[in-house]
Amino acid sequence: MKVSLFITCLSDAFYPNVGESMVRLLARYGVRLDFPPVQTCCGQPAYNSGYWDDARKTAATIIEAFDESDFVISPSGSCTGMIHHYPKLFEHDPVMRVKAEQLQAKSYEFTQFLVHVLGVTDVGATFPHKVTYHPSCHGSRLLGVKDEPLALMQQVKDMELVPLPFAEDCCGFGGTFAVKMANISGAMVTEKADHVLESEAEVLVGLDMACLMNIAGNLRYRNKPVRVMHLAELLYEGVERA
Amino acid sequence: MSSTAAGSKQSTVKQRAELALNDEFLRKAVKFTTERLRSGKKSASEEHGNWDDWRERGRQIRLHTIAHLDYYLNLFADNARANGVHIHFAQTDVEAVRIALEIAQRKQAKSVVKSKSMVTEELHLNRALDSIGVEAIETDLGEYIIQLAGETPSHIIIPAIHKNRYQIADLLSAEAGETLAPDTQILAGFVRKKLREKFLEADIGMTGCNFAIAETGSMVLFENEGNARMVTTVPKTQITLMGMERIIPSFEDLEVMATLLPRSATGQKLTVYMSAITGPRRSDDADGPDEMHIIIVDNGRSNQLGDPEFQELLNCIRCGACLNACPVYRHIGGHAYGGTYSGPIGAVLTPALNSNVAEWDDIANASSLCGACYEACPVKIPLHDMLVYLRRRKVESGNGSKLESAGMKGFSAVMGDARRMRSALKIGQFGQKLVVREGGIRLRLGPLKGWNTYRVAPSLPKHTFRDRWKEVDRDAQMKGKPLDPAVQARMEAIVKQRQQGGGHGHGGHA
């Protein structure tokens, strides 16, 4: 049984602790992750900007990287969601299209795998902090990952989960949107960070480092000491603490 | 600012958004009302109980109707004619305007009272009527305010959403010739009195159309103020303008639409007035027009037929839920979109109706692709995907930006190969040393300018995940436990099921 880690370029380069937490957490359940080093990026920046030829080049590296895998797990609903676009991206290529559909069927966002495949909701973590959760758009709306993170968080001991006002609103990242429409994106992230502060949480947790990088960047810019982390990090840290 | 329609093509969405972002009144007003509407929609749909089933029913009705649009349009036209309605088909905006003006001239009309209609906005019909000396008066309160301000609607169903009570009081005071208090009852009372005279003297009543029922030839209007009732009963002549896609097959289908539309639009269980009008006044009717015309407008709609990526656009029932859900709309309002239709639906519909990927498509970039529009849509139009298709069509048609195109080539060259990606990261880790302070980058230069105006950018850590992989794997295995046989069996079953063609879904909601 080959369970492969699709680390995503952002977590690979900027947030190695997210992948590390996933590897260590899953090892506790006897799942040894495989890491195909030929993997790169899902291709979403090119796809979303309309450069599908360029997106196909990067998508092909991902499809090839996980050709042999039985399960592909990633710490991002957005990058997993991008894999769901692969069949459309290769709709005129019968060979790649089939491979794309196969990859889609075996791709899981981290919490989906934990809850639905391993059947785990209580990882045995303790995390004595006030935490709020931002449900990233692609994971929650396009993949339907809504209950899984909540089920996991509800089992964490000593953790106070407080509601994030207008939690379902986009943080304003949107990939190249944040660069092209910088001021609209800036207004959106400022509003999102306002809501985080309104929740009075010490920790903001989520399932997508791109969104979290965006919100954390704005909080830091405003010198607000809210700790921002991926749920995999929170769970593993909580396990270590317990 | 009636310049929105005319001036939009010269300015960019970015410039127009800038105006809105710097207008605190506008942002507060839009935020206030969209929040009220979307929370209303949320509770109305939750209360309904089977919302997603009904969305799917609505979608199926719209898919079926649009797939057989020629059949249902003919059926509608035949039945409406049998009811005594004059049916006109207009392929273009120019043609639709010409037909409407000819009727007005034949009737020697001096004034027209209008109920809310986005399609007449699309045709700029008020301006055309004015050009032949016919006064057109909007009788929907929001539309009336916008007309007084010389603006265009900034929302599909709440045209004056960007104005607050005080601004509205100023506008109405100028019309009244006396100072009116910024009190909703006083303001609405003034408009009611003023419009009453206009209804009585109007020669023509002009309406849009929410749904046209093919099996009976009826046109159906949803409204909350009763003004559309006045418009369709008092004047001697009625002209209805409808987009050619407003058709539904039967009254049974209307039940689904009447469930979906008001809840999605305002959170109302029912619209206050729902009128189905089946022909002009009959001899034993107490009121109603003697002559009734329906102008069926194409104006770019049929271009979507047979286009697998955009045909579903014609499923839209114009409820405005996507605008209320959209975080971009909330910050920039409707005028920034530069067309008649704003928000996510407008960002797609405007270029689609104009078959124009070069000029209008910059509005397709004004989205973070968050999918809130899709989630809010009562007929599940995948607007977030369509925005990407628009961007792609621009690139494919050779209208993409040269700088971005070069950037994306670089992106795919680096990201298409893990070794090149690694080298790029090494260069980044080394190069950033000049600009990193306390683990972050605050420099506002080049591509970081926009980002760092609102944020601190993260710096690259010393080691990537792949640098650390071998060590992490070894360490994790030392502390690891064996795989539970039950889990192993489940995993094998999933793989097997997948090979037999099942196993999608993963227990999620999507």
List b or e across B412-433, with b for residues whose CB sees 16 or more CB atoms inside 10 angstroms: bebbbbbeebbeebeeebeeee
CA angle B76, B78, B82 (to 5 degrees): 115
- How far CA B22 is from CA of A192, B1, B33, B397, in Å, comes to 19, 16, 18, 34
Distance in angstroms (rounded) separating the CA atoms of residues B299 and B119: 10
C-beta of residue B155 within 8 angstroms of C-beta of residue B322: no
For residue B505, the model assigns a pLDDT of 63
Q: Which of A147, A181, A233 to mutate to test the interface with B (most CBs of B within 10 A)?
A: A181
Of the candidates B256, B281, B300, which is a domain's last residue?
Answer: B300
Cβ of A70 within 8 Å of Cβ of B405? The answer is no
Report helix, strand or coil for A192: helix
Residue A165 at interface with chain B, using a CB cutoff of 8 Å? no
Residue B502: per-residue pLDDT = 66
Contact B411/A46, CB-based, under 8 Å? yes
Residue A161 has pLDDT above 80, yes or no: yes
Determine, yes or no, domain membership for B139: yes
Distance from CA of A144 to the nearest CA of B (A): 4
Mutation site, B18, B367, B368, interface A, largest A CB count within 10 A: B368
Asked if B280 and B96 touch (Cβ cutoff 8 Å), the reply is no
| DSSP SS3 for B137 | strand
Q: Three-class SS string for B298-357?
A: CCCHHHHCCCCCCHHHHHCCCCCHHHHHCHHHHHHCCHHHCCCCCHHHHHHHHHHHCCCC
Q: Which domain holds residue B267?
A: 22-54+70-300
Question: In which band, very low, low, confident or very high, does the pLDDT at A134 lie, cut at 50, 70 and 90?
Answer: very high
Flag whether B245 is in a domain: yes
Q: What is the CATH number of domain A130-241?
A: 3.40.50
Mutual orientation of helices B251-266 and B51-67 as an angle, nearest 10°?
120
Q: Using CB atoms, which residue from A54, A179, A191 is nearest to B451? A: A179
A178 touches chain B (CB under 8 A): yes
Q: State the first-to-last Cα distance of chain A, in angstroms, to the nearest integer.
A: 30
State the Cα–Cα distance between residues A89 and A140, nearest whole angstrom.
22
Residue B143 placed within a domain:
yes
- Measured between alpha carbons, how far is B44 from B54 in angstroms, rounded to an integer? 13
Interatomic CA distance for residues B283 and B217, integer angstroms: 19
Those of residues 80-99 in A touching chain B at CB distance below 8 A are: none
Which of A20, A24, A144 shows the shortest C-beta gap to B509?
Answer: A144
Q: Tell me the CA distances in angstroms from A221 to A213, A224, B457, one per residue in order.
A: 12, 8, 9
Residues of B in contact with A11 (CB under 8 A): 465
- Of A70, A141, A175, Cβ closest to residue B495: A70
Q: What is the DSSP string of A83-107?
A: HHHHHHHTTT-HHHHHHHHHHHHHE
Do B484 and A178 count as a contact with CB atoms less than 8 A apart? Answer: no
B295 and B435 belong to one structural domain: no
Final residue belonging to a domain, choices B300, B320, B345: B300
Interface mutation target, options A170, A219, A227, chain B, most CBs of B under 10 Å = A170
pLDDT at residue B5, as a whole number? 40
Distance from CA of B271 to the nearest CA of A (A): 27
My answer on whether B292 and B430 are in the same domain is no
Alpha carbon A79 to its chain centroid, in Å, reads 7
Residues of chain B found within 8 Å of residue A209, distances taken between Cβ atoms: none
Q: What is the mean pLDDT of chain A?
A: 97
Read off the tokens for A74: 């990633």
Which residue in chain A has the smallest CA separation from B402? Answer: A51
Strands (DSSP E) contained in chain A are: 3-5, 33-34, 71-74, 107-109, 130-133, 160-162, 203-206, 227-230
User: Which 1-40 residues of chain A touch chain B by CB within 8 A?
Assistant: 1, 3, 7, 9, 11-14, 16, 18-20, 23-24, 27-33, 35, 37-40
CATH number of the domain within which B91 lies: 3.40.50.10420
List all residues of chain A from 45 to 64 with a beta carbon under 8 Å from chain B: 45-55, 57-58, 60-61
The strand pairing partners of A34, in sequence order, are A4
Structure confidence at residue B17 (pLDDT): 95
Q: Which residues of A touch B495 (CB under 8 A)?
A: 1, 70, 106
Residue A235: predicted pLDDT: 98
Q: Which residues of B touch A51 (CB under 8 A)?
A: 392, 395, 400, 404-405, 408, 412
Q: Is residue B145 part of a domain?
A: yes
> Measured between beta carbons, which residues in chain B are less than 8 angstroms from residue A70?
491, 495
Q: Which of B375, B467, B476 comes nearest A24 by C-beta? A: B476
Q: Give the count of Cβ contacts less than 8 A between chain A and B.
A: 266
Q: What is the pLDDT of residues A199-233, one digit of tens each?
A: 999 999 999 999 999 999 999 999 999 999 999 99
Classified as helix, coil or strand, A231 is helix
Q: Check B416 against A143: CB less than 8 A apart.
A: no
How would you write the pLDDT of chain B (510 residues) with one tens digit per residue? 333 443 445 688 999 999 999 999 999 999 999 999 999 999 999 999 999 999 999 999 999 999 999 999 999 999 999 999 999 999 999 999 999 999 999 999 999 999 999 999 999 999 999 999 999 999 999 999 999 999 999 999 999 999 999 999 999 999 999 999 999 999 999 999 999 999 999 999 999 999 999 999 999 999 999 999 999 999 999 999 999 999 999 999 999 999 999 999 999 999 999 999 999 999 999 899 999 999 999 999 999 999 999 999 999 999 999 999 999 999 999 999 999 999 999 999 999 998 876 777 789 999 999 999 999 999 999 999 999 999 999 999 888 888 889 999 999 999 989 999 999 999 999 889 888 988 899 988 887 889 999 999 999 999 999 999 999 999 999 999 999 999 999 999 999 999 887 655 676 544
* Strand ordering across the sheet containing A107-109: A33-34, A3-5, A71-74, A107-109
CB-nearest to A142 from B451, B473, B510 is B510
Preferred mutation among A1, A54, A61, A214 to probe B, highest tally of B CBs within 10 A: A54
Q: Which of B300, B317, B334 is the last residue of a domain?
A: B300
Torsions phi, psi for B225 (to 5 deg): -105, -10
Quick one: closest CA in A to B392, which residue? Answer: A50
Tokens of residue A25, six digits: 């957490």
Angle between helix axes B141-149 and B184-201 (nearest 10 degrees) is: 90
Q: Which residues contact A196 (CB under 8 A, 6 or more apart)?
A: A132, A134, A164, A204, A215, A219, A226
Q: Is any Cβ of chain B less than 8 angstroms from the Cβ of A173?
A: yes
CA closest to A104 among chain B residues: B504
pTM tops 0.80, yes or no: yes
| CB contact (8 A) between residue B415 and residue A41 | yes
How far B41 CA lies from chain A's nearest CA (Å)? 14
**Number of neighbouring beta carbons within 10 Å of residue B3:** 13
Containing B383, the helix (H) or strand (E) segment is helix B383-396
Number of domains in chain B: 2
Residues A116, B368: C-beta atoms closer than 8 Å:
no
Q: Domain segments of chain A: what residues? A: 3-117, 130-241
Q: For residue B374, which residues of chain A lie inside 8 Å, CB to CB?
A: 141
Q: Which residue bears the tokens 């190069």?
A: B431
Residues in chain A with CB shorter than 8 Å from the CB of B481 are 27-30
CA B324 to chain centre: 9
Mutate to test the interface with A, among B12, B445, B451, B454 (most CBs of A within 10 A): B454
